[in-house]
Amino acid sequence: MSDFVDRVTVHVKGGDGGNGSAGIRREKYKPLAGPNGGNGGDGGSVVFVADPNANSLLDYRFMPHRAAGDGTMGLGDVKDGSKGADLVLPVPPGTVIFEAKGPVGKPKRPGEQLADLRHAGDRYVAAAGGAGGLGNAALANKTRRAPGFALLGEPGEERDVILELKSIADVALVGFPSAGKSSLIAAMSAAKPKIANYPFTTLVPNLGVVMAGDRRYTIADVPGLIPGASQGKGLGLEFLRHIERTEIIAHVIDCATLEPGRDPISDYHALEHELAEYADKLELPLGAIPIPERPRIIVLNKIDVPEAKELADFVRPEFEKMGLRVFEISTASHAGLKELNFALADLVAAMREEVAGREQAQEAERVVINPLEQTGRRRRAAAGTVPDFAVTRRENANGDIWFEVTGTKPERWVTQTNFDNDEAVGYLADRLARLGVEDELRRQGARPGDEIRIGRGDRAVEFDWDPTIAAGAELLDGSQLGARGKDLRLQPDEPGGRRRTNAERRRQYHEMMDAKAAVRAAMAAEREAGHWSDPSVDDDRHDEQSLFGRGESLDDSDSAIDDAIDEG
């Protein structure tokens, strides 16, 4: 089984943001210290990075699920939570990232191209981490001085992506199966591909590094190409994908084949036809040379066979009339390999300069708009540039009607809300009302009690619409209500709403000490009377339910102790 993997589906998930803290500062002599809950930390992101040391996508086949670290919760004393660690995943240069399309549990197919990591160091954030929730210290304002809630952290982005490796080699060896491509790369480099005398021995690309004096270049031995490959026949697109990034195409032609209907000229035209068909389907990256414009060379192989040498000498003038350079070689005897090696090195050096010039020219023509630098928490979209939400009336086959609210802000606010806290739910209602959601619901014909859904899929939240005054949706006496939530310590009519004076403290202290002295005197009188030691002594002669009680009425002498306790 080969260890070269050039296409995998990976499930990536950014870290969840940490929850905000709803802490209250408690300090001696400062009963009105106020909220001090810190913000939650942002979740980490999943980042793919082109790394020259990576040469395959094999690791992602065995470990297709990757997740970044979560942010931690905010703490009291306005301490923000720590940020989750980013997960940096190395991939070989030439890896293209696609959005994965397809039903759950079924094989995915490539969708929209998300990134093209052509050069070492190129990065792409595949799954962004969620933002941490705000603590109550950040939510406090002049009307909500002591919020009793905090916002929850946002969940990290989660999705499937397809990684597809398109080999970045200087020279691509193309040819029919068993033309000798694997033998050629084994003879010219240190690569050791599998070699056998049957078609489609090479099922995956083989890369080899070739030295020509002090110059170095890479050569790719890719699976065999047959007529109809551009339509998916044989290995089809599995082969063609690996020549998109090569700069030089070398036709390796078998001059010793005994198959009927095949000769070097017809083989060349058949291969060129498939390349032309595939070239029309490509979207080339910046600076890439179109396949029809890339230089070709003809490599006539197996000239160690006498009949093959004779055929090579016969067809060579025909190729030269087409303007093609021809090299006669033998991978068995190594004849002609030195001349081929240095000729390829010269072509590679020239093509590298041309590609670099094209990249610089096209880069200068592009208009690049860089976003504003993001400092601190993530900047939000400017208000009014795009609609913040949309309300749609839905109805199913059973006649059930509901209203669906979608949009970045409402969906994000719902995920940040702790629905176990009434004040947090009221804060959400205030935000939705200020955004205009309730006005739009009225315009769409919604009535109190109708079902409202905010968001889509598993994260949608359903509730019955209740446009109450507490939600801030209506006006009272012509003025908008203030924000929900209050600090009872700031209300003068509530217990603990104001600090006691020193005179009040002294009076309450003396009253407490007098009550304690009266209780101690009553307990001493009971002890002297034997109430606690002699069971025959009636503890309470006036209690009809007691063991010895007779329910007698009180007189002045019998109520002495009770009076003492009452005075205490």
Say if CB 185 and CB 219 are below 8 A apart. yes
Residue 95, annotated as binding a ligand: no
- d(CA 529, CA 366) in angstroms, rounded, equals 105
Classify 77 in phi/psi space as left (phi over 0), alpha (psi -120 to 50) or beta. left
Residue 436: CB atoms within 10 A of its CB come to: 13
Residue 200, annotated as binding a ligand: yes
- d(CA 492, CA 411) in angstroms, rounded, equals 39
Residue 189, annotated as binding a ligand: no
- d(CA 452, CA 122) in angstroms, rounded, equals 44
Question: Residue 493 corresponds to which amino acid?
Answer: D
Residue 225, annotated as binding a ligand: no
Give the relative orientation of helices 560-567 and 502-528 as an angle to the nearest 10 degrees: 160
Residue 175, annotated as binding a ligand: yes
Say if CB 515 and CB 566 are below 8 A apart. no
Residue 537, annotated as binding a ligand: no
In this structure, the dihedral spanned by the alpha carbons of residues 514, 517, 522 and 523, taken in order and rounded to 10 degrees, is: 140
Residue 223, annotated as binding a ligand: yes
What are the Cα distances from residue 475, in Å, to 464, 468, 471?
21, 10, 10
Mapped onto helix, strand or coil, the DSSP state of residue 215 is: strand
Percent helix, strand, coil in the chain, to 5, is 30, 20, 50
- d(CA 329, CA 181) in angstroms, rounded, equals 12
- d(CA 12, CA 203) in angstroms, rounded, equals 29
Say if CB 406 and CB 389 are below 8 A apart. yes
Say if CB 384 and CB 435 are below 8 A apart. no
Residue 246, annotated as binding a ligand: no
Tokens for 449? 């009690």
Instruction: Measure CA of the first residue to CA of the last residue in the chain; give whole Å.
Output: 93
Residue 201, annotated as binding a ligand: yes
Residue 187, annotated as binding a ligand: no
Residue 172, annotated as binding a ligand: no
Residue 116, annotated as binding a ligand: no
Residue 177, annotated as binding a ligand: yes
DSSP secondary structure, 86-142, as one string: PEEEEE-TTEEEEEEES-TTS--EEEEEEEEE-STT-EEEEEPPPPPPPPHHHH--S
Phi, psi values for residue 8, rounded to 5°? -140, 155
- Vertex 321, ends 319 and 323: CA angle to 5°? 80
Residue 301, annotated as binding a ligand: yes
Residue 221, annotated as binding a ligand: yes
Residue 162, annotated as binding a ligand: no
Say if CB 435 and CB 389 are below 8 A apart. yes
Residue 161, annotated as binding a ligand: no
Residue 176, annotated as binding a ligand: yes
Q: Which residues carry a binding-site annotation?
A: 175-182, 200-204, 221-224, 301-304, 330-332
Q: Which residues carry a binding-site annotation for Mg(2+)?
A: 182, 202
Q: Which residues carry a binding-site annotation for GTP?
A: 175-182, 200-204, 221-224, 301-304, 330-332
